[in-house]
A = this chain, B = another copy of it.
Amino acid sequence: MTMSRIKAPPVARIGDPLAAVSTPALLIDLDAFDANVAAMAALAQRHAVALRPHAKAHKSSTIARHQVDAGAVGICCQKLSEAYPFISAGIRNIHISNEVVGPRKIEMAMDLAHQARISICVDHSAQVDALGKAAADANVFLTLLPEVDIGQGRCGVASTRDLLVLVERIARYDRLRFGGLQAYHGGIQHVASWEQRRVAADVAAEKAAQYVAYLDALGVPCPVVTGGGTGTVEFDMRTGVYTELQPGSYIFMDGHYGRNEWPGEWRSRQSLYIASTIMSTAKPGMAVCDVGLKGVAVDSGLPLVKPGQYEDVLQYVAANDEHGMLKIAAGGLQERLGDQLLLVPGHCDPTVNLYQQYICFRGHKVEDIWEIDARGLSQ
């Protein structure tokens, strides 16, 4: 039997009409995307805060380049391995907004620090010791940002005493530099009420401010306080606490963020969609599309049919592995076999991580195709 390598055809080609894309496909509406990139850059500039977008949301060096070209000081990554494609694409200012543990990770941190300006979070003195010794051996300088817990209850120290332990520990190592604080509260990003979200953001920022004031009183300057997300960014910018902000989802939006109220200074346009095709209409009142659990993350709700398309007629009601079940509203047309449907994912980050490429369209035409080159790099 011959072992010829044959490859699946491309999902789309530049210049194709959008309707010709092979589904499932992850789409970016470039008009909305460009507007989001520009609006967040302008917002940050208006409030004199540095913008360091979180690349964990898009995992694409092409998008990171767009963000840096629009004025971002660099990017955040959540994992060390995730940083490689961005460095390869010339982005050399990367904050790892997360703790790293274990010899393989320390090795990777040193490798990255040889290639780019890297900062990393710590919340335990053992992490400081491991990075400090490795940095000396590898002859690299590394910036560490202790993470402070400002309400999330996940990583990060929860007392000034524990913060001081870390700051003092960092000072023991010639090759380590204390760079400031990581202060992020993910749990408040999706508080639907704008007013409640504002209050929650202010409470969180006040906690961050207390850590800064504590260090300040000790004569330890805090050059960077980094945090914030898409849900709270308009409030975070006004606090005067954060020197830089890390929104990720703002370029895309999703169903979960879509349930927030946005009457204020920030509202993303929906730019991320999944193209799907109705591939079975054998059941009265139901249609089956080709996007299931392998094509959309459902942890934060099922996908929505794109507003203005069929959303009054079709509702995505259940996801199987490769099938999406759509309920057809009473009076809705049953015969839709082959119709292309655009879906708004419930949660952009883990949905993006399922795909290898963005099919970028403007109007009804495929304008570009961008690799999701950090997809799956979770180490």
Complex contact A279–B22 (CB within 8 A): no
Residues of A in contact, count (CB < 8 Å): 88
Max chain B Cβ within 10 angstroms of own Cβ: one of A111, A115, A378: A378
Give the CA-CA distance A84 to B9 in the complex, in Å: 9
Mask for A137-173, Cβ within 8 A of B = 1, else 0?
Answer: 0000000000001000111111000100000000000
In contact, B153 and A283 (Cβ under 8 angstroms): yes
With contacts A1-B90, A105-B22, A293-B349 taken as known, whether A282 is within 8 angstroms of B78 at the C-beta atoms is no
Determine whether the beta carbon of A124 is less than 8 Å from that of B280.
yes
Given contacts A3-B89, A9-B111, A321-B350, contact A124 B281 (CB under 8 A): yes
Contacts known (A279-B100, A299-B293); A6 close to B123, Cβ less than 8 A: no
Which of A6, A78, A320 has the largest number of chain B CB atoms within 10 A?
A: A6
Closest CB of chain B to A230's CB: distance in Å? 13
Residue A102, interface by CB 8 Å: yes
Task: Please determine whether B277 and A102 come into contact, CB atoms closer than 8 angstroms.
Answer: yes
- Smallest CB separation, A369 vs chain B (Å): 14
Q: Indicate whether A46 reaches chain B with its CB closer than 8 angstroms.
A: no
Contact between B6 and A99, CB atoms less than 8 A apart? no
In the complex, chain A residues 73-123 whose Cβ is within 8 Å of any chain B Cβ:
78-81, 84, 87-90, 92, 98-105, 107-108, 111, 115, 123
Residues of chain A touching chain B, judged by Cβ–Cβ distance below 8 Å, are 1-9, 11, 20-25, 56, 78-81, 84, 87-90, 92, 98-105, 107-108, 111, 115, 123-124, 126-127, 149, 153-158, 162, 186, 277-283, 286, 288, 290, 293-295, 297-299, 319-323, 325, 337-338, 347, 349-350, 353-356, 375-379
